[in-house]
Chain A
Amino acid sequence: MGAPRNLARRLLWAALQLASPGCREWAEAMASELEYIEGEWPALFWALGCTTAIFRRCLIEWGAQFGKQVGNLLGIRSIKEENKMNSTGKKTLGVLSGAGIAVALGVCMFFLRDVIGDMLLAVGIQKSMWSHFFSVIVPTEVVLIIVAALLWKRRAPVSVGILVACAVMALHVAVTLASH
């Protein structure tokens, strides 16, 4: 047995451990199907696809559970909403993903601020609050707004998540600027 197949087996085994009860049978089906695939690399690509499918499924289920718990906590659950819980879960997951993407980009830009500052110094722009504002914060916000606009039609919840995170960042910047 070659390394790719070994890796494929390990991947699916790990995915199987994480699989929720709802998709455990499917995860087992994918793992057993692996043994019928000829070739090392096709087996690895098969396992990669299966692992993605299992994780996506788990995320949707966790999102649905999270939405349900939030609904329970807020006491806003109705019979109609209960029927739509699956879609609510997906939407919640979408909003959280959007916010996560925005925060990740924000964090990346925060860590890159010194590099950007040095690049600006190289072209003769001194480090200041305003150089930081226009070279780090404004581009981040612009990129996020463009991404949100592009995603609006196909992934509205993700878009909303990005815009919410964007608004929070903008508010933070406004408060910082006002306090200076």
Chain B
Amino acid sequence: MKLKLSPQTLLILDAFLDHPAEWKYGYDLSRSTGLKSGTLYPLLMRLAERKLLETAWETGEPGRPPRHIYRFTPEGMQFARDNRRSRTVAQVGQPILHEARG
């Protein structure tokens, strides 16, 4: 799957991976990742367009509007897990490579 994995995208994927089955709110994601809304939403849109995220509307509290919520699709979860695994392998492999190079 072709997707530009910027550090910000990785932050979002990691935030979803912490509790993959849970629905998340935009503002909570913004706080947990430290991303501003202007960065967060374009990334969420891109992930949803690529069917890595599913979106829904949650009935809001009385007197408040419904809230848009997000969570991984099965493909998204697989993609994020594969990506995290490959990053871990790369991080573990780097010192060994440096040592080998002397």
Contacts and interface: CB of A to CB of B under 8 A. Distances in A.
Interface string B17-28: 000000001110
Interface residues of A, number: 22
Interface stretch (A26-34, A70-78, A158-166): A26-34
B37 A46 contact: yes
Interface in A17-41: 23, 25-26, 28-33, 35-37
A155 interface: no
A13 B60 CA distance: 19
Interface stretch (B4-12, B38-46, B71-79, B84-92): B38-46
Given A33-B25, A36-B27, A49-B38, A26 B45 contact: yes
Given A29-B68, A36-B67, A45 B45 contact: no
B11 to A, nearest CB: 16
Interface in B46-70: 55, 60, 64-68
Contacts, number: 61
Given A29-B26, A46-B27, A49-B37, A35 B64 contact: yes
A53 B39 CA distance: 7
Q: Is the interface of A mostly helix, strand, loop or mixed?
A: helix
Given A36-B25, A36-B67, A30 B37 contact: yes
Contact of A33 (B27, B36, B39, B42): B27
A101 interface: no
Interface string A33-59: 101110000000111111011001100
A33 B68 contact: yes
Contacts of B68: 25-26, 28-29, 32-33
Given A32-B65, A53-B42, 12 more contacts: A25-B55, A26-B41, A26-B44, A26-B45, A28-B68, A29-B26, A29-B68, A32-B67, A35-B65, A36-B27, A53-B38, A57-B45
Interface of A: 23, 25-26, 28-33, 35-37, 45-50, 52-53, 56-57
